[in-house]
């Protein structure tokens, strides 16, 4: 009886790991977001960026030209450093 509980516990752990593996892989496959080309809707995939901030990014880009670096996103009114820090690995400008 004790042996069968151990086997069941091991099976349950392996099953949980197998279920979680695709979730981790899907999160790692996030594509880059080009802030010079993305639409307001596409920009909402960035952390901390909703519809209002995404539209500000587009408006800023149209008024001031293309972003030269990913860090230039902090020049957009309302975009804090934490927005850049939370997205710097997925922001592209080329």
Q: For 29-60, how does the pLDDT look when each residue is reduced to its tens digit (9 = 90+)?
A: 568 999 999 999 999 999 999 999 999 999 99
Is residue 38 located within the same domain as residue 76?
yes
> Whole-angstrom Cα distance, residue 66 to residue 82?
21
Structural domain containing residue 49: 33-92
pTM of the model: 0.69
Q: Where are any strands of DSSP class E within the chain?
A: 33-34, 91-92
| Mean of the per-residue pLDDT values of the chain | 83
Q: Are 57 and 40 in contact (CB under 8 A)?
A: yes
Domain count, the chain: 2
What per-residue confidence (pLDDT) applies to 6? 62
Collapsing DSSP to helix, strand or coil, 57 comes out as helix
> Whole-angstrom Cα distance, residue 24 to residue 17?
10
Is residue 7 located within the same domain as residue 44?
no
């Amino acid at each position: 009886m004790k042996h069968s509980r151990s086997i069941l516990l091991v099976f349950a752990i392996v099953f949980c790991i197998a279920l979680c593996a695709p979730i981790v892989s899907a999160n790692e496959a996030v594509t880059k977001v080009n802030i010079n080309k993305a639409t307001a809707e596409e920009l909402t995939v960035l952390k901390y960026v909703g519809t209002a901030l995404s539209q500000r990014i587009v408006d800023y880009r149209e008024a001031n030209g293309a972003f030269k670096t990913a860090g230039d996103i902090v020049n957009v009114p309302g975009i804090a450093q934490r927005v850049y820090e939370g997205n710097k690995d997925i922001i592209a400008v080329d």
